[in-house]
Amino acid sequence: MSTPGKGNAYLEQVVAQQAVLEDDLRARRIPGEPPLAPSPLAKRDRALSAPLPDRPSPGPVDIRITGFWRWKNVLVPPNAYVVHTRRGRQEPLHIGLGVSFRYNPSTDSFLVVPGATQTILINAYCVCQELQGVLVQGYVQWGIHSFPTAYRKLDFADLQDPMRLVNLQLREQAEAAIKDKVATMGIRDVLSDKQPIIEELTARLRAVAEGEDNSDQGLGLRIVTVQIKEAVVSSSRLWENLQKPYRAEQGQVARLAELRSEEAIGQREMAAERLKETQRLEYERELAELRARNDAWQFDTEVAERLRRTQRTHDDSRAVAELETETTRHALRMERERHAEEAETGRLRVEREQELKRLELDGELELARSRTLADHERALLDVERTRLRAEIDNQQTPSSLQAKLIDSLPEIMERLPKPEELRMVSINGGDRTTVSGLLAELAVVVGVLRSAVNGDS
């Protein structure tokens, strides 16, 4: 399945490691005479010739056989299953884990099987859904669960390795299960997710070894664990093609990282070059400024010296001119002081007049304020008087109102217009002793006078 002249190094390495591991797991034993199996009568004479010393068996289980002739003892280690049968008996005399017993070579037979967990290495060359070869490597660990069932259904007759045939049978079944499952899966699923293969393999092996639903159809074994270690594509070209997308992606990431690194380095180099050029320009500018300051200092020094000399020359003539103008300056100062005194006198006079005007204005304002307060108090008194009058009027009795009305009749009559003719008005039916009656009579009189006035008009 690989191209000619071009092997799959990874596949070869996996297979080599598998062979080394299988060799390491194989028990190392001292070669010697095999242990006594089901009693061969042909060896009876040799057994009678001399007693057997205590010696371990060279098989996979370290059992010891002691005694001589018909009186022998078989000592079984505690981690080994043993079944001891005797001629003429249907059921075993002894069966179990680590059971030692007396042994008569002429009538007895026994079988010793290791009780430790067994490991089966699996190399399944499968064809996936895409018709590509895949090597699936795994292991199965199993142990004896029910030895009375196992020794009847399984072949432990190999004296050097009693488990060899059982391991071969389970290995073949495991490889068949793996091939069946891989044939329904894609190559990427096989490489990325091995859990479906593990589940399928576990279910099939447990159905064979333990029986379905713990029935008595099993082999008396128990599957401890099932694991898939590796899944390798047999074709090196296909393996490379499957790796190319990821490698290309990683190459793209690496190239982009290199480009970013080169870009960052270029930017740093340009920044360093720009900084270097900036520093050089700064140094040149500072040197130019120093030269300019030095030239300016020299020029200022020369100009200052010329000015000092010129100033010294003018100072002498200025001293003479100052002496000549000092008298004139003194006269002008006296004149200014006189004008200042006159101005001060005028200012004081104006301030005094303004103060008098301010006092007069304050007096007028105070008088107006007093008048305003007096008018306000008078108005308050009038209001209070009116309120009191109204309150008194509200408290008058009908008799007092009648008397007041009678007193005001002459004034009312005087204000009435003088009649051109005399008319008589008779008022009857009114009670003049009461206010209501009196008011009714007055209303009649006023009505007659109003009609008379309207008729004259």
**Residue 35, pLDDT score:** 41
Residues 348, 354: Cα–Cα separation, whole Å? 10
Structure tokens at 452: 């008379």
**Phi and psi torsions of 225, nearest 5°:** -155, 155
In a domain, 400, yes or no: no
Residues 103, 112: Cα–Cα separation, whole Å? 13
In a domain, 282, yes or no: no
Domain of residue 76, residue span: 9-239
**Residue 420, pLDDT score:** 62
Count up the domains in the chain and report the number. 1
In a domain, 228, yes or no: yes
Structure tokens at 422: 């005399």
In a domain, 428, yes or no: no
Could you tell me if 208 and 174 are in contact, meaning their C-beta atoms sit under 8 angstroms apart? no
**Residue 62, pLDDT score:** 76
Domain containing 167 — which CATH number?
Answer: 3.30.479.30
Residues 233, 186: Cα–Cα separation, whole Å? 12
Other CB atoms within a 10 A radius of the CB of residue 64 amount to: 17
**Residue 277, pLDDT score:** 92
In a domain, 325, yes or no: no
In a domain, 280, yes or no: no
What does each of the 457 residues of the chain score in pLDDT, given as a tens digit?
A: 444 445 666 567 667 766 765 665 554 444 444 443 443 333 333 333 333 344 444 457 778 888 888 888 888 888 888 888 888 888 888 888 888 888 888 888 888 888 888 888 888 888 888 888 888 888 898 888 888 888 788 878 777 778 888 888 888 888 888 888 888 888 887 888 888 888 888 888 888 888 776 566 778 888 888 888 888 887 677 767 676 787 788 888 888 888 999 999 999 999 999 999 999 999 999 999 999 999 989 998 888 888 888 888 888 777 777 877 887 887 788 888 888 888 888 888 888 888 888 888 887 888 888 888 888 888 888 888 888 877 776 766 667 767 777 777 777 777 766 666 655 555 555 555 565 666 677 777 777 666 765 665 5
Structure tokens at 13: 């390495």
Q: What is the DSSP secondary-structure string of 232-271?
A: EES-HHHHHHHHHHHHHHHHHHHHHHHHHHHHHHHHHHHH
Dihedral (Cα; 95, 100, 101, 102), 10-degree rounding:
150
Residues 84, 111: Cα–Cα separation, whole Å? 7
**Phi and psi torsions of 101, nearest 5°:** -160, 165
The edge-to-edge listing of strands for the beta sheet with 80-86 is 94-97, 80-86, 108-114
Residues 419, 350: Cα–Cα separation, whole Å? 76
Name the residue type at position 269: E
In a domain, 319, yes or no: no
In a domain, 61, yes or no: yes
Residues 309, 430: Cα–Cα separation, whole Å? 135
**Residue 16, pLDDT score:** 77
